[in-house]
Amino acid sequence: MSELSPSNYIRISVINWVLSVPLIVMFAWPYYYAAKLTGMLEAFRYIGAFLFAVPFMLTIIHGHVTMALGSVHRQHYYQWLIDKPYSFGLFYNNTLMSTRFRLVILIVSLFFLPIGYLLSF
């Protein structure tokens, strides 16, 4: 069985979807409690915590794909996701795996911490 088969891509995709929720929770709670200490409104805490956790979750999932397929073949998996936009590739865009995009989201979430605090007054 080839590592580049659709059945392997389906397995990797299902594992990534299952891992995404626990990873979001695992990476969001430090931001949530830091925002709670500053007295930020709860809605802003959840938004900021989600924005803070997304880059870390994407990095772990990108690493999982790289470990499963190898760095040479992962673009085949990402192309397969693009070809399946209404099923396995739901919400997928090539920009998500870019380091620049992940860093921008992380920096936006960190800038959101004092802004959310100031808006709570």
Q: What is the pLDDT of residues 69-102, one digit of tens each?
A: 999 999 999 999 999 988 888 888 889 889 999 9
> What mean pLDDT value characterizes the chain?
92
The mean pLDDT of 28-40, rounded to a whole number, is 93
pLDDT at residue number 4: 82
* Contact predicate 48/109, CB 8 Å: yes
Please check the confidence at residue 1 and state whether its pLDDT lies above 70. no
CA distances in angstroms from 73 to 4, 14, 29, 69, 77, listed in the order given: 8, 18, 34, 6, 7
Q: Is-above-0.85 flag for pTM?
A: yes
Is residue 48 classed exposed, middle or buried when 0-12, 13-18 and 19+ CB atoms within 10 A define those classes? buried
The mean pLDDT of 22-34, rounded to a whole number, is 96
The mean pLDDT of 52-69, rounded to a whole number, is 95
What share of the chain in percent tops pLDDT 70? 99
Domain ranges of the chain: 6-119
- Please tell me which residue, 3 or 60, carries the higher pLDDT value: 60
